[in-house]
Each structure stands twice: as C-alpha cells, then as structure tokens.
Amino acid sequence: MAASLNRPTTRIAFQGMPGAYSHQACVEVYPNAEALPFNTFEGAIAAVKEGAADLAMLPVENSTYGRVADIHHLLPESGLHIIGEHFVRVHINLMGVPGAKLENMASAMSHTVLLGQCRSFLRDNNLAPVIGADTAGSAEIIAANGDLLQGALASELAAEIYGLDVLARHIEEYDNNTTRFLVMSPEPIRPMRTDKELITTFVFRVRNLPAALYKAMGGFATNGVNMVKLESYMVNGSFTATQFYADVIGHPDDPALHRALEELDFFTSYVEILGVYEADKARG
C-alpha cells in the first residue's frame, strides 16, 4: 500500500477517463483524495511536476498482458519517485442504461483488451462486441446514447459515475487478472527499516564488458537478496543501448542489499533508485 498521504486536499493524477481502472486504484488507495483524469501518462506526470497534482497513479504491468507500453521509459525520465504500489483486481462488468435487460441486449462496447477477456460471456449471450477507445469512455458513450440494446464493459465505478445499471458482474474469463500500479511523488518518501516487507526499485545500464550483466546480478545472489522483477528495454532507439528495470526485496540500508548495490555499481555505467516503498499486501 502507498505511503499515508491521504489528506483531504490530496490531488492524484491518473491516465484515462473517470471510472477507468486507474481511477479505481486512486479511490482504493486514497478514498478522500481528488482524482484528476488526464489523456496521457505524460499529462499525469506533468501535472505532478507542475504542482497541479500531488501524486500520480501509474499502471506498470498486468498479470495477463505484461508491462504497460512506454511506462518503463517514462518512469526514469519523469523526475518523480515511487512511494507505493497497489494491485487492482480487474473485474469486468456488463452495464446498461436504466431499464436495460441482459436478455434484450444486442451489443457490448469496450476497449479491445476487455472484449477479449469476455469472449465466452459475449458468445453465450449473443452480444456483438463493439470496440471503444477505452473502458470508461465506452460507459460514457452508452449512457449518452440511451439505447436499451447497447451495453458497456467496464468497472463498477464507471457504472456509478455514468448512471448505468450493472447487469452482470465479474464476467471476465481470467480469474486472476490484476494490474499493478505505482504511486509517484515529486519527493522521495523512504520508509524506515521495519519488519514490513519493502521494495526497492531501480534502473541501471551495464558496462560494455564480457558477462557484465551476469556479474552485476551476482552480488544479489551472493548476498541473498530476492530480485522479484528484472526487465530490459532499449533506449535511444539503439539495439546496443539496453536499460534494465529491477525490483528487489529490502531497503538500501539493509547490509545485504547495500553490498549488492555496491557490486552492481562496479559493473554499471548508470544506476538510479526510483523508489523505496512498502510492498502491497496483495503481493503475497
């Protein structure tokens, strides 16, 4: 769970429309905050950097579809710091305008990813899939059209916001579909070393040396540090310039992790810690 910043005046930026799953993450972590929608990740990040928002809620990966496109490039360049993580179980719901009935409905609109996760339900109920730009946007369109034969697939929060009735709940085919979000702040907020599980997230580039990555990772193995995530991606459009994104269990001041990071520094040309934060209880 994110750091305790749930002040009534907290403003938290997210990408998407009101009712998006990113909005749901904001509500779950900071129920008293003002959630501010932006069309792009860059817009949400800029709002924090410019002071229009206090925090940003950014999705980084999904258990079914992998990492969110472009986000790993944006995080190191954002100038923001990770202060928390949150996992959202993606429940998909069919909704329609008041008075609509499932047995009379002819089509359902949503983002293509959600449509793909509900194929069996759509087939069994003779609903034609209609591709929308996003989930919450589809709910807004259905509400505006007022057509009893059209439905939308989205979160229950979207149904609440746009005045729609939920006709079928949790219709997704993947019973563990979950999205991981990171809470970003303009200032680092490192928790103290406690008995709670902590995550340290960092990015690095290895030196142009034989077996440099193997040697850089060796320090984590020999010091017993659990690396729970390691991903690579190209930078600056080059096939030879590769940056790595990593999550490890522990605090940089822990002796074992401190030694591992010292060894990492020897074999890398660049290392940046993006954040140290408490692990969400859903991680376990």
Per-residue pLDDT of the chain (284 residues; tens, 9 = 90+): 555 455 555 899 999 999 999 999 999 999 999 999 999 999 999 999 999 999 999 999 988 888 887 787 889 889 999 999 999 999 999 999 999 999 999 999 999 989 999 999 999 999 999 999 899 999 999 999 999 999 999 999 999 999 999 999 999 998 888 999 999 999 998 888 777 899 999 999 988 778 888 988 999 999 999 999 999 887 766 655 678 999 999 999 999 999 999 999 999 999 999 999 999 998 86
Q: Which of 179, 200, 201, 268 is catalytic?
A: 179
Answer yes or no: do 248 and 271 share one domain. Answer: yes
Q: Which domain holds residue 45?
A: 11-89+177-185
pLDDT of residue 164: 98
Classify each residue of 47-65 as buried b or exposed e, where b means 16 or more C-beta atoms within 10 Å of its C-beta.
bbeeeebbbbbbbbbbebe
Measured over the CA atoms of residue 235, residue 229, residue 198 and residue 265, the dihedral's sign is negative
137 and 204 part of one domain: no
Q: Are residues 181 and 50 in the same domain?
A: yes
Q: Are residues 126 and 141 in the same domain?
A: yes
Count up the domains in the chain and report the number. Answer: 3
pLDDT at res. 87: 96
| 75/120 same-domain check | no
Q: Specify if 192 maps to a domain.
A: no
**Is residue 212 located within the same domain as residue 233?**
yes
In this structure, the answer to whether residues 98 and 82 fall within a common structural domain is no
Give the span between the Cα atoms of 7 and 106, in whole angstroms.
44
In a domain, 16, yes or no: yes
Residue 181 designated active-site: yes
Q: Is residue 178 within 8 Å of residue 63, measured between CB atoms?
A: yes
Residue 106 lies in a domain: yes
- The last residue of a domain, from among 125, 150, 185: 185
Residues 101 and 132 in one domain: yes
CATH number at residue 204: 3.30.70.260
| Residue 237: inside a domain | yes
**pLDDT for the residue numbered 217:** 92
CATH code, domain with 49: 3.40.190.10
Catalytic residue list contains 178: no
Q: Find the catalytic residue in 121, 181, 202, 267.
A: 181
